[in-house]
Amino acid sequence: AVYPRVSYEARRPRFTNAVATQLLDLIIAKQSNLCVSADLTKAADVLQLADQVGPYICMLKTHADIIEDFDAKFVEALQKLAEKHRFMIFEDRKFADIGNTVQHQYAHGVHKIADWSHIVNAHTLPGEGIISGLKAVGLPKQRALLLLAQMSSAGTLFTEAYTQQTVVLADKHPDFVIGFIAQRALPSPAGNDYLVLTPGVGLDDKGDGLGQQYRTPHDVLVKDGCDVIIVGRGIYKPGRDPVAEAKRYQKAGWDAYLASLAA
């Protein structure tokens, strides 16, 4: 294989951040590298989906700012489901401002993301301060950060140099940065290990008419060495059975992982 696969078990001790080791434990215990993206606009619908797919996932990804009736009750219910089914919560906030501003966006406002989301993500465009700012809020609360190193959409402005620079920035904060949103494995010059979570995964569709591009679990896990597949509409699109699809993607993701170990 182009990207030699090391098992989730063998990688676990390489991480110092507690969220990373917890996530790897869940992946191993549940045999699931599936993250479901619950991009629904009503709190009850997000919670229902989380309860349905919970047994089959290692992580649930949210966009808190699209939920019309977001409130503290929703957060409490989501946390209960995360405990019941044992999955991590990842708020896909994609911070992109200066350190001081993102600190407020992370800790305060309507969403108080740092209080409930194990994992958040950020663009590196503003430079290292965005990581330092988020870390000052998140690390004391035992949280973790993913950096956007690549995107799945057509015509993205990410360049190879930007992607590489993002890894270099991660290497300055391996205690808080546990990985990347990217489309392939990203080896670190400093020898740190990072988890690669990959959106734009679908078994039935090729795109969505708005630039999204889908690849299969086999493509991203075997060919490109990623670690976690992120699947949204492939699972909850109207007409699809979320439980059946979650089981299907869990199996496809795990089979692809096993295939990549053997490759």
Q: List, as residue ranges, the binding site for substrate.
A: 39, 61, 152, 212, 232-233
Annotate 4-41 with DSSP letters as a single string.
----HHHHGGG--SHHHHHHHHHHHHHT--EEEE---S
- Residue 179 binds ligand BMP (CB under 6 A): no
Supply the minimum distance, in Å, between the C-beta of residue 150 and ligand BMP: 7
Which residues from 192-211 bind ligand BMP, rule CB under 6 A?
199-200
CB of 236 to ligand BMP, least distance (A): 8
How far, rounded to the nearest angstrom, does the alpha carbon of residue 219 sit from its chain's CA centroid?
A: 17
Task: Please give the Cα distance from 76 to 64 (Å, whole number).
Answer: 13
Q: Which is nearer to ligand BMP, 63 or 247 (CB)?
A: 63
Estimate the crossing angle of helix 99-107 against helix 129-138, to 10 degrees. 30
Nearer to ligand BMP, 155 or 189 (CB): 155
User: What region does 94 belong to: left with phi over 0, alpha with psi -120 to 50, or beta?
Assistant: left
Q: Which residues within the stretch 19-78 sit at the binding site for ligand BMP (CB under 6 A)?
A: 37, 39, 63
Give the pair of three-digit tokens for residue 31: 């045999």
Which residue lies nearer to ligand BMP by CB, 25 or 208? 208
Q: Does 92 bind ligand BMP (CB under 6 A)?
A: yes
Phi, psi of 63 (to 5 degrees): -125, 90
* Whole-number Å distance between alpha carbons of 62 and 40: 9
- CA–CA dist 25, 173 (Å, integer): 22
231 binds ligand BMP (CB under 6 A): yes
Q: Which of these is catalytic: 25, 42, 51, 94?
A: 94
Contact call for residue 217 and ligand BMP (CB under 6 A): no
DSSP tag of 114: G
Which residue among 25, 51, 97, 115 is the active-site one? 97
For residue 194, CA distances in Å to 102, 154, 186 come to 23, 25, 8
Active site residue 25: no
User: Which listed residue (92, 193, 219, 224) is catalytic?
Assistant: 92
Our answer to whether residue 94 is catalytic in this structure is yes
Q: Please, what's the largest Cα pairwise distance for the chain?
A: 47
Candidates 11-19, 43-51, 64-72, 148-156 — which segment interacts with ligand BMP by CB under 6 A?
A: 148-156
181 binds ligand BMP (CB under 6 A): yes
Nearer to ligand BMP, 49 or 181 (CB): 181
Residue 240 engages ligand BMP in binding (rule: CB under 6 A): no
Choose among 247, 235, 240, 234: nearest CA to 206. Answer: 234
The piece of 5-13, 73-81, 160-168, 231-239 that touches ligand BMP (CB under 6 A) is 231-239
Residue with smaller CB distance to ligand BMP, 133 or 200: 200
Given a contact cutoff of 8 angstroms between Cβ atoms, the answer to whether 112 and 74 are in contact is no
| Active-site residue set | 92, 94, 97
Q: Interface residues with ligand BMP (CB under 6 A)?
A: 37, 39, 63, 92, 151-153, 181, 199-200, 212, 230-234
